[in-house]
Structure 1
Amino acid sequence: MQPTFVLVHGAFGNSFAFAPLQAELGLLGHRSVAVDLPGHGFAATYPDAYQAPQDAERLAAAPGAIKGVTLADNAAHLIRVLERAKENGPVVLVSHSRGGATATAAANARPDLIDRLVYVSAWCPVDLAVGDYYAEPEMAGVDTASLTLALAGNPAELGVLRVNFRTADPGALAALKAAFLADGTDDEFRAFLNTFQPDENLDAGTAADRARAATWGRVPRTYVRLADDASLPLALQDRLIREGDALTPDNPYDVRTLPGSHLKWLVDPAPAARLLGELAPPTG
């Protein structure tokens, strides 16, 4: 039976940005579905203060629907998608960036629904919770301070992480481009920025949500390294691979590498589509 690629976005993302990749997969004869996690896509909040002319004060205080959404909510939603996809044949679960935490939680709970896990520069925490890796040496070069230039409101008061991706602040825009799409044109960068939603939930998981050998560890898995990623550096990607291999040495990662930044594989998706096609289980 033909496999289904289930695609899971990262922070502030949604299914929309996967459209070019899905087109390439479709032209190669592959079936795919892009997931909107709870509070994403058409369920996202776009306060009227986010529209031009922006009202910074109201934007910083407007409520967001994603408040209170947890990693467990994300995983439960993804599992429901996987259950439906599995009815039609093998499932390849592909996650990007923060979406890897959701994929890991789903694989911890229901490894029977997944025929292959694919992480594309994604979080697959093993030794630490996701948030704790930011204090590790591999993340030392990430310019997290400059990224706060676009922050809107106090996350502790709002209950959401809100970023003004429609900012005109040249410093904030430069920081975002350097972090996510330094190898793209300014137009590509702004186009991608306009697919982002302003709000993200605060729960990236705890130590209890790390990969488990007995469940997650028995699913065949691939890690696609993004060689020029500045937001999830190659050193951190390699550390996550090593930790996963140490957890289940009899089921190590199949490691692949694509050139480019954190978002380049979605802006120029043909190489990624070909790579994913190579990972599809054989049809029968």
Structure 2
Amino acid sequence: MTATTIVLVHGAWHGSWCWQPVIPGLLRHGFAPFTVDLPAHGLGARFPEGFGSDPQRFAAAPSPHGGITLEHYTQAVLDVVDAAVAAGSGPVLLVGHSMAGIALTAAAERAPEKIAKLVYLAAFMPMPGVPMIDYVRCAENAGEEVAGLFVAPPPQIGAMRIDYRSADPAHRARIRSAFCHDVDDQAFAAMAHLLTPDVPAAPVAAPTVATRGRWGSVPRAYIRCSGDRAVMPALQDRFIREADAFTPRNRTEVLTLAASHSPFVSMPGELAQALADLAG
């Protein structure tokens, strides 16, 4: 039996490490999993001046990742997809969490023939011409808890910057509430040490390019997280509704997990099962 190749793309501030709890379950379900570190994340992260030592300097320093664009994200995803396809995998199951949704859409627009199915995990799935940042600010995302964590306006420093190493218990509690309110103390502490501070501002401000004939031709699914406080459930539902109106002959398959924004940590087994169900 040939394994189904699945390519997993993390969201903002995360890295490929976040998928590790899910990998054993994916292997048991017969997947061949590959992960991507988006530019400016994971081992490619660089840190602004003052990080961990001088909060005021940290808040004001220009981001070392100010030059990263959506094109860089897209190419990083396609590099892994291309390698898998070249090795004989056939079209892949491409999964993206949160911000990675914009890279999924761009990759599918570029190379729809290499993707068997797109899976958006509590992810941004913008419509053509609309940048991700417009959805962050929309009415359906009211009550989200992420933007209030930024240490400075993103246009000012070139990044969405969060201080995950803060010693302030109240600030750390807000981070946990926003991203992973359903994980235990030890898991949250581990995550906080792996999350990196800067997400480049340019990719989230780039207008989405998606056409019915390319992105819209790829089967897609959306995994809703009903306890999400980063991408609110109402916004997740808007993404699904708008996508289905854009491609009425290719509607979104929908599953729901009773999870926070971090189901790869809080319920990795259930997430692996959901991905197996969607792979058919």
Please report the TM-score for the alignment, with normalisation by the length of structure 1: 0.89
The equivalent residue for 1:189 is 188
1:1-284 matches, within 5 Å, as 1-46=2-47, 49-51=50-52, 54-62=53-61, 64-87=63-86, 88-89=88-89, 90-126=91-127, 128-144=130-146, 146-148=148-150, 151=151, 155-206=154-205, 208-280=207-279
- Mean CA deviation greater in 234-243 or 125-134: 125-134
Q: Per-residue CA shift, 1:176-203, capped at 9, x if unaligned?
A: 1111111222222222222211111102
Q: Is the 8 A contact 1:7 1:35 kept in 2?
A: yes
After superposing the two structures, state which structure 1 stretch, 234-243 or 198-207, moved more: 198-207
RMSD: 2.0
- 1:204 Cα shift? 3.2
Query: Given residue 140 of structure 2, which amino acid in structure 1 is its aligned partner?
Result: E
CA distance, structure 1, for counterparts of residue 134 and residue 56 of structure 2: 31
Structure 1 residue 47 displacement after superposition: 5.3
Query: Counterparts of 2:118 and 2:146 in 1: how far apart (Å)?
Result: 28
Over 3 Å counting, the alpha-carbon distance change for 1:261 and 1:75 in structure 2 is same
Structure 2: tracts of 5 or more residues without a match? none
Change (3 A) 1:169 1:141: same
Indicate the larger mover: 209-218 or 226-235.
209-218
Q: Which moved more, 1:162-171 or 1:229-238?
A: 162-171
Query: 1:240, CA displacement in angstroms?
Result: 0.3
Alpha-carbon separation, structure 1, partners of 2:206 and 2:156 = 24
Give 3-state SS (helix, strand or coil) of 1:213's partner.
Answer: coil
Distance in 1 between residues matched to 2:147 and 2:82, nearest whole Å: 40
The Cα of 1:135 is off from its aligned counterpart by 3.1
Q: Within 1, Cα distance between the matches of 2:110 and 2:93?
A: 16
Runs (4+) off by over 6 Å: none
Secondary structure of the equivalent of 2:93? strand
Q: One-letter code of the match for 1:50?
A: F
Residues 147 and 277 of structure 1: CA distance in aligned 2, closer, same or farther (over 3 Å): same
Distance of 1:98 and 1:4 partners within structure 2: 22
**1:37 match: secondary structure:** coil
Aligned-pair CA distance for 1:145: 5.6
Partners of 2:179 and 2:230 within 8 A in 1: yes
Whether the 8 Å contact between 2:125 and 2:239 is mirrored in structure 1 is yes
| Identity %, equivalent residues | 38
In the TM superposition, residue 27 of structure 1 has moved relative to its aligned partner by: 3.1
- The 3-state SS of whatever aligns with 1:133 is helix
| Alignment partners' CA distance in 2, 1:167 and 1:251 | 45
Instruction: Report how far residue 156 of structure 1 moved.
Output: 3.5
Instruction: Indicate how the Cα distance of structure 1 residues 145 and 135 shifts in structure 2: closer, same or farther if over 3 A, else same.
Output: closer
1:93 aligned counterpart, secondary structure: strand
What displacement does 1:266 show?
A: 3.0
* CA gap 1:160/1:205 in 2 versus in 1, 3 angstroms: closer
Q: CA deviation at 1:212?
A: 2.0
1:241 match: secondary structure = helix
**In the aligned structure 1, how far is the partner of 2:153 from the partner of 2:234?**
31
Amino acid in the other structure paired with 2:134: D
Q: Equivalents in 2 of 1:157, 1:143: separation in Å? A: 21
Match of 1:5, SS state, is strand
